[in-house]
Amino acid sequence: MTGRLSGRVTEDPSALVRELVLDPQFRYEARTLLPWYLAIEKSLVAEYLRMGLIGAGQARTLGRLLDDVTPEVIERGRQQSLSDIALAVERSVTERLEEPVPVWHADRSRNDLQACAQVMFAKQRLQEVAAGLHVLAGAAQRLAERSADVLMPGYTHFQSAQVISAGFYFAALSDRLLRRSRRMLQAHDLIDACPLGAGAMSGQELPWDRDRLAALLGFERAEPLALNAVASREWAAEVTSELGLLGGTLSRFCTDLLMWAGSEHGFIDLPDALSGISAAMPQKKNFPILERIRGKTAHLAAFHIDVVLGQRNTPYSNLVEVSKEAGAHVAEAFDTCHDVLRLLTAVLEGLVLREDRLLGACEKEYFGGFTLANQLTLHHGVAWRTAQVIAGGYVLAGVRAGRTPKDSAPQVLRDLAAEHGHVIEDADALLADAFDVRRALPRMRSSGSANPDHVRAALAGQEQDEKGLADAWERRAAVVRQALDGTDRALGLGADAE
């Protein structure tokens, strides 16, 4: 057997197994997990040193050799290491030792090593997604601030409903993005438990200080039970569920943008550099970037389902099926999310609101019907449901007559009110006020409304929320950086080594 790594299995993996299973996994982990494998190995060396099983010079030598391991280095030893990254790291170090360190890798398992590397990877990628979320939220906030007074139709049930502003809409997008950042921060903290020291599944025989190992790797705590540390892998389902939820939200906003960009609405435009053409119809300007973004968000949900289906009905133990196959597309999920955030940020930064079309769409709809009903009740003593009937009758009469909301018909309103026993003497003023779209937003008085003052207040609150979340994410990233630096110092590495 090449490399003599086991006395139990005496033949190398078949060419088929290497081609379809081991080599792809090896290269995937070399690309995504190698830095974390090396950090973990160094923390374990620090523990061997603490337990008195190796000397300071041996620890320093092992640390330096681990620092020299690169994807290219372990690739050279892939064939001799059963195409296993952990074994390849071990071989790359031991082959370069001038004197053997027999205790290195004693009382060790790959199970907790792999589980720990995966969680460290997930924590870093969550931090990267959060950074992208904040960039996108910033773009949405700037657009919202610029357009807090830009009137546009608001829709319910696919029908024009009330006057809102573009700023009100994009402030809602920013708010949801910050919510997702907060949720991902909670997910980060939930999985911030170190699996190391769990061994194969039931613990280890040497007195490993698991709390110290967790601290050396920047974890908030050690995973309490060894079995959960290697068997659960719930982190993969939890983080991809957050990505899937984000994708679901963004898909809805993309649907609106696609509709608004269509020729029938013409509410928004994008720069030519973000647009597409028709090879057959020269009059067309397409926006496939929005279709691409929305399409990619579907993958985010699919990646989560992939993890869940890969884990369901498996025994609760360490399994390749759970640890590797079920998580085979987690890195791709993070990559796809990163692409979605970058593309949508570019869209918002380049988006142009066609204010004339937006205002025109508002002026042709009877948006003042709700206000008219309110005024009839509050200022004329008409019971609310009756007021709804009168206001709705006025709108229906206007539609049937082909009148626009600006074409006031006060006598129609008087007649409808009289049918219900009410006299409306100021019908002219009432209609002029209710159907003036420019008065729609200032009359909104409840907090969180589309009133431009309330939108700007919400944006100011979001700015503070964003700062607090960004600081929280940075603190967590700093913990890992400082922890890894501390591990190097414990091994006598670096200029300021202890």
The pLDDT tens digits of the residues spanning 408-458 come to 999 999 999 999 999 999 999 999 999 999 999 999 999 999 999 999 999
- Check the CA dihedral 65-70-72-77 and report its sign: positive
Beta strands (DSSP E) in 195-238 are: 221-222
**Cβ pair 237, 304 in contact under 8 A:** yes
Residue 58 confidence class, pLDDT cut points 50, 70, 90: very high
Q: How many CA atoms lie within 13 A of 417 on its CB side?
A: 25
| Pairing verdict, β 193-194 and 221-222 | parallel
Q: Does residue 2 have a pLDDT over 80?
A: no
Identify the helix (H) or strand (E) that includes residue 156.
strand 151-156
Q: What's the rounded Cα separation, in Å, for the pair 449 and 164?
A: 9
pLDDT, residue 495, reads 61
Mean pLDDT of 202-229: 98
Indicate the class that CATH gives domain 368-439.
mainly alpha
Is residue 25 over pLDDT 80? yes
SS3 434: helix
pLDDT band for 256, please (50, 70, 90 cuts).
very high
For the entire predicted model, the pTM comes to 0.94
pLDDT at 494 over 60: yes
Beta bridge partners of 268: 353
On the 0-12 / 13-18 / 19+ scale of CB atoms within 10 A, 413 is: buried
Higher pLDDT, 278 or 370: 370
* Residue 23: partners with Cβ closer than 8 Å, 6 or more residues away: 78, 83
Which tokens in the block code for residue 17?
A: 């197994």
Q: How confident is the model at residue 1 (pLDDT cuts 50, 70, 90)?
A: very low
Provide the pLDDT confidence category of residue 497 given band limits of 50, 70 and 90.
low
DSSP assigned state of 20: I
Q: How distant is the alpha carbon of residue 218 from its chain centre? A: 22
352 in helix, strand or coil?
Answer: strand
* Of the listed ranges 109-123, 128-142, 312-326, 484-498, the one predicted with least confidence: 484-498
Domain boundaries, the chain: 15-109+484-490, 112-144+164-205+221-355+454-480, 368-439
459 vs 465: CA distance, rounded Å: 10
Give the residue carrying structure tokens 């709108």: 395
Which residue reads 């300071």 in tokens? 56
At residue 77, the pLDDT reads: 87
When pLDDT is averaged across residues 1-19 and rounded to a whole number, the result is 75
How wide is the angle at C-alpha 195 spanned by C-alphas 190 and 199, nearest 5°? 160
Percent above pLDDT 90 for the chain: 91
Query: Which one of 4-8, 199-203, 283-287 scores highest in mean pLDDT?
Result: 199-203
pLDDT band at 82 (very low <50, low <70, confident <90, very high): confident
Give me the CATH topology for the region 112-144+164-205+221-355+454-480: Fumarase C; Chain A, domain 2 (1.20.200)
The whole-angstrom separation of Cα 38 and Cα 104 is 14
Tell me how long the chain is: 498
Q: What is the pLDDT of residue 286?
A: 87
In which band, very low, low, confident or very high, does the pLDDT at 11 lie, cut at 50, 70 and 90?
confident
Long-range pairs, 385-388, Cβ under 8 A, ≥24: 386/420, 386/422
Average pLDDT over residues 19-43: 95
Q: 98 by DSSP, 3-state: which?
A: coil
pLDDT at residue number 5: 61
- Which amino acid, 442? P
Over residues 301-312, mean pLDDT: 97
- Mean pLDDT for 302-326 is 95
Examine the pLDDT at 6 and tell me if it is beyond 70: no
Question: 466, 458 in Cβ contact below 8 A?
Answer: no
- Residue with more model confidence, 5 or 491: 491
